[in-house]
Amino acid sequence: MPELRIRPAIFDDAEAIARVLVEAWRESYSALMPPEALASLDVGEQAARWREVFLGHGEDVFGAAFLVTGDGGEAFGFAACGRQRSPRLLEIGYPAEFSSLYLLRRAQRRGAGRGLMRLMAAHLADKGASAASVWAFRDHRDALSFYEALGGERTGVDGVWSVLGLTLPDVSYGWRNLAPLIDAHVQ
């Protein structure tokens, strides 16, 4: 496995992000979703969605995305953050959110996930956010353990996410203080 680097993502990275998203979902959610739902993911559709995300970052002071690449520029992961989309979480003091964080299995447990969280937290704090939240599928134990290891605490706001024709329960984690994420030592 090549050395991993994290850099800000740009509009031209939309297709690389889409490829990572599709592969990461198929790897990570195979126990949560039927194979036909995961097979229906389309890189072209996801790339178009991510182009729209990048175009919208100009309207979102908290909006940013980061890409994990290897030595040759191959994408292995990405993350994005932005303004809070959940009115319930906004009401209880989370003005921003970590909206996406995906790493291919071969890039996991190498510090990139922590690095992505650190960079997003630093970006949000620099833009004036005092706290942030994240959503994760309730039954995705690896994701929940990751956020808990980084100091995330259940917010008490749970919900469901309708995606790919499925409705799955999800939970939110929050960080009332972003400083510990920013100061975390990562590889």
The pLDDT tens digits for 143-183 are: 999 999 999 999 999 999 888 888 999 999 999 999 999 98
The pLDDT tens digits for 88-146 are: 999 999 999 999 999 999 999 999 999 999 999 999 999 999 999 999 999 999 999 99
Nearest Cα neighbor of 133 from 77, 76, 87, 164 is: 87
Q: What is the pTM of this model?
A: 0.93
CATH architecture of 5-183: 3-Layer(aba) Sandwich (3.40)
Does residue 57 contact residue 99 with C-beta atoms inside 8 Å? no
Q: What are the residue ranges spanned by the domains of the chain?
A: 5-183
Residues in the chain: 187
How far lies 154's CA from each of 46, 62, 89, 96, 111, in Å?
A: 29, 22, 11, 16, 23
